Amino acid sequence: MKSKFITFEGSEGCGKSTQSEMLYRYLKSKGLKVVYLREPGGVKLSERIRQLLLDPKSEISPEAETLLYMAARAQVIEEIIKPALSCGKIVVCDRFLDSTIAYQGFGLGIDVKLIKSIGNFATQGISPDLTIFLDLAVKSGLKHRHNCKDRIEQRSINYHERVRVGYLTLAKQEPRRIKIVKVQRDKFITQEKVRGIVDAL
């Protein structure tokens, strides 16, 4: 079977982890060889970078933040994603390069062309076959994170609104790759829509 790279994107509290894990279990139940991971993370170095990036006590400039995300991504590409795809496996990833474009580009004002250029280097040119963007109103998403906000979640509503606009802009630019799924209250209804898109792929 030909390998497939599927990523999940979305703003805070949209249910990415839940939906991506549900899809992973669904694909596994069909007897497919599937690898599941999250970003930043997935391997030892990337998980350590994740802790640094999300720690509310960390003082990180926008430029350093962007490069740290790229470093974590480069390592997981080399250790997990590239080998899995070369073996014909399906890779399901919770966040990828689109996150950096939305959060550090649209959110923090880092040049998007620069992010894409560095991103191409960090990913060794590997790009998702399909990206599911789970769309949810910013205030609704942050409401679920009231008691456990990390360094990114603590940023202003305006910042998170810019991130959502960034995602919607990317989806408009790449409609064949990025599919928008409106988040429903019932996670199973949302998952049904996700599976429909993936099955078509």
Over residues 150-198, the pLDDT tens digits come to 898 889 999 999 999 999 999 999 999 999 999 999 999 999 999 999 9
Taken in order of first residue, the domains within the chain and their CATH numbers are 4-200 (3.40.50.300)
Residue 145 pLDDT exceeds 80: no
H/E segment holding residue 30: none
| Strand 4-9 with 130-135, pairing | parallel
Helix axes 62-76, 44-54, angle to 10 degrees: 160
| Strand 90-94 with 130-135, pairing | unpaired
Over range 13-34, report the average pLDDT.
96
Quick one: pLDDT at residue 148? Answer: 65
Distance CA 13, CA 6 (A): 20
Over range 16-38, report the average pLDDT.
97
Q: How many CB atoms lie within 10 A of CB 77?
A: 21
Burial class for 101, CB neighbours closer than 10 Å (0-12, 13-18, 19+):
buried
Please report, rounded to a whole number, the percentage of residues in the chain having pLDDT higher than 90: 88
The pLDDT mean for the chain works out to 95
Over range 27-53, report the average pLDDT.
97
Of the candidates 179, 132, 129, 151, which has an alpha carbon nearest to the alpha carbon of residue 40?
A: 151
More confident: 179 or 11: 179
Cis, bond preceding 56 (omega within 30 deg of 0): no
Q: Which of 27-31, 45-49, 100-104, 147-151 has the lowest mean pLDDT?
A: 147-151
Quick one: pLDDT at residue 141? Answer: 79
